[in-house]
Amino acid sequence: MTMEPQELKSKLHGVIGFPVTPFHKDLSLDAEGLRRNVQFMAKHPMCALVAAGGTGEVYSLTPAEHHAVVQTTVEAAGRIPVIAGVGVNPHLAAELARQSQAAGASGILMLPSYYINAHDDGLLDYYATIAAATPLGHLIYSRDWVNLTSAMVERLAARIPNLVALKDGQGDLRALQRIKNRVGDRLEWIGGIGDDMVPGYYSLGIRTYTSSISAIAPRLSLQLHERASALDMASLHRLMTNYVIPLYNIRSRKRGYEVSVMKACMQILGMPAGPVRPPLTWIRPEEENELRSLMERYKPVLSEYS
């Protein structure tokens, strides 16, 4: 469902769901499994879904697979806007952005480039090149080695007219507060590092966040948003203590576990997920047992998967 950049920006209030990309045992794409998972998530009032994001293992996908993931997500999402993740280098990212627009995506999430030591001037050209490829609204994902200053975000907002949002993946609330104060409502601000940061993000006035938990428990993701928006800190604390923090404690044990743990949870719950592609690694047997116990605890916040 394509839309104008400002229309997309206006819809980015609430929970943005992050479907994983399911694979078969031989690591080939499981498009039908993805369709079923997205249909499950789309039964809940997400403000958007991200196809082929970081949780969707975007860097492991071929261009053909990327197109299949975006197209399948768009078809299964119904009226929910779909934002396609792109990155690696500007030419490939621009190609993926164009084919995502053709597949019906409503926006583009620009992930970091392959070059980890890029100067701000080079990053500016990188993002501007991608954003010029389509008229869709674009979001920048500030994560890993892309740690943007307030001055740089201001430059990006001035250079890229169809830039509509910044997705924070650093979790530095002090720096994010400075960026928001400098750039104001020119951009939508998205809490993007994880469900465990909802209390911190919402304390800054942010009212949109990207949820990995939405892949298994969309109701819980929406409850986190609702409680935090209402400043119901006691209820929010209970949700964080009972469900979110125990899951994120396991996710934090090894790089890449943010994907592996979610896929393991999905398999425990009978959802299509499959293995992860290298260089990501699978969880240990004892951790799978921990997750089985945790998913038992999750039963009150789970929706029926069908």
Residue-level pLDDT at 80 = 98
Q: Tens digit of pLDDT for each residue in 30-77? A: 999 999 999 999 999 999 999 999 999 999 999 999 999 999 999 999
The pair of three-digit structure tokens given for residue 21, joined into one six-digit string? 């990309």
Q: How far apart are CA 169 and CA 146, in angstroms?
A: 9
Phi and psi at residue 210, in whole multiples of 5°? Answer: -95, 130
Please confirm, yes or no, whether 141 is among the known catalytic residues: yes
Catalytic residue among 11, 126, 127, 141: 141
Q: Tens digit of pLDDT for each residue in 233-268? A: 999 999 999 999 999 999 999 999 999 999 999 999
CATH 3.90.550.10 fits 5-231, yes or no: no
Question: Who contacts 242 (Cβ-Cβ below 8 Å, separation ≥6)?
Answer: 297
Tell me the pTM. 0.97
Mean pLDDT value across the chain: 97
Please confirm, yes or no, whether 25 is among the known catalytic residues: no
Catalytic residue among 9, 11, 167, 263: 167
What's the maximum distance between 2 C-alpha atoms anywhere in the chain?
50
Q: 3-state class of 82 per DSSP?
A: strand
In the DSSP assignment, the letter for residue 241 is I
Closest among 121, 89, 85, 82 to 105, alpha carbons compared = 82
Low-confidence ranges of the chain (pLDDT < 50): none
Domain ranges of the chain: 5-231
